[in-house]
């Protein structure tokens, strides 16, 4: 399974050379364009979640626990089963789910720690959203201060960072309680069952057997709510499985793929990609 790259991992700076630090020296005469589609997310089969997103995410898509290379569990939303195939991004670049993770709401901005362990705002120019067109969005105003929208994005991403940090803490509590186990799932491919590995879930049986003292502890920290949301979200696995089936049939029915995908979520328009109401 593809590794989960998270904003909490500063090593991502070494592997994403399209990330540009936002500074007066480098950006005062530059502008940026808002994305018009979700092709930038088309290869993401996972996205890390903030604790503030858990409730709404759990009633829209399956959420899971995944381990990074250091064996640390992260909380993430499942968006696909095969590397580089995000089932929630249509072939037209539309987002198919009602819920849009905050990791995408603020794209192409990314918040990461630099070598001095300070949070810094970066601009991901992988899809050439950087421009010299003064009619686009500025990074800085005439006084060389961050533009209003850039400041709003930075504030929103700081809150997301805090929420992701909290999710990591609560996930660790669930792991220490022995409640996180492998999630065994399969996909149907040409009448065959193909196992999907690398995802983890809450063990409901183990949860029912923990001591009252442990249960109260998990309840008071919020970890119990997280456990319940993860278990609830498993009921949405069939949505991705259906999208996977449509993806497999796409070559033979490309004209109907988009409408069929929309019908799964019972809507016709993708989630709006904008920076309003930050």
Average pLDDT over residues 249-263: 55
pLDDT at 119 over 60: yes
Quote the Cα angle for 80-86-88, to 5°. 95
**% the chain with pLDDT above 90:** 66
Average pLDDT over residues 115-119: 87
What is the model's pTM?
Answer: 0.83
Other C-beta atoms closer than 10 Å to the C-beta of 191 total: 5
Rounded Cα distance between 87 and 2, Å, is 15
Q: What is the pLDDT of residue 105?
A: 94
pLDDT tens digits, residue range 71-94?
999 999 999 998 899 999 999 999
Q: Is the pLDDT higher at 273 or at 35? A: 35
Q: What is the pLDDT of residue 186?
A: 86
pLDDT tens digits, residue range 215-229?
999 999 999 999 999
Q: What are phi and psi of 98, to 5 degrees?
A: -70, -30
pLDDT tens digits, residue range 161-209?
999 999 999 999 999 999 999 999 988 777 788 888 999 999 999 999 9
Rounded Cα distance between 40 and 101, Å, is 13
Cα dihedral 6, 12, 16, 20, rounded to 10, equals: 90
pLDDT at 248 over 90: no
In sequence order, what DSSP letters do the residues of 177-216 get, joined into one string? Answer: TT-EEE--EEEEETTEEEEE-S-EEE-HHHHHHS-HHHHH
pLDDT tens digits, residue range 123-173?
998 888 888 888 899 999 999 999 999 999 999 999 999 999 999 999 999
pLDDT tens digits, residue range 94-110?
999 999 999 999 999 99
């Amino acid at each position: 399974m593809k590794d989960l790259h998270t904003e909490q991992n500063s090593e991502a700076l070494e592997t994403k050379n399209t990330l540009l630090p936002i500074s007066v020296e480098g950006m005062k005469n530059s502008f940026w364009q808002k994305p018009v589609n979700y092709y930038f997310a088309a290869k993401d089969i996972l996205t890390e979640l903030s604790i503030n997103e858990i409730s709404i995410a759990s009633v829209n898509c399956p959420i899971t626990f995944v381990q990074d290379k250091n064996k640390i569990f992260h909380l993430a939303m499942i968006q696909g089963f095969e590397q580089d195939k995000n089932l929630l991004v249509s072939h037209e670049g539309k987002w198919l789910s009602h819920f849009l993770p905050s990791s995408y709401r603020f794209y192409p901005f990314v918040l990461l720690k630099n070598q001095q362990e300070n949070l810094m705002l970066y601009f991901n120019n992988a899809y050439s959203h950087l421009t010299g067109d003064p009619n686009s969005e500025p990074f800085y105003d005439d006084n060389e201060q961050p533009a209003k929208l850039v400041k709003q994005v930075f504030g929103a991403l700081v809150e997301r960072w805090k929420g992701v940090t909290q999710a990591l803490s609560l996930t660790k509590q669930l792991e220490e309680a022995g409640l996180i186990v492998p999630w065994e799932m399969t996909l149907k491919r040409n009448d065959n069952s193909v196992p999907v590995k690398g995802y983890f879930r809450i063990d409901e049986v183990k949860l029912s057997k923990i001591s009252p003292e442990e249960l109260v502890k998990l309840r008071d920290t919020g970890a119990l709510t997280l456990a319940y949301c993860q278990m609830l979200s498993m009921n949405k696995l069939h949505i991705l499985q259906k999208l996977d089936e449509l993806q497999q049939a796409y070559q033979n029915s490309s004209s109907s793929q988009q409408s069929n995908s929309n019908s799964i979520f019972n809507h016709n328009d993708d989630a709006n990609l904008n920076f309003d109401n930050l």
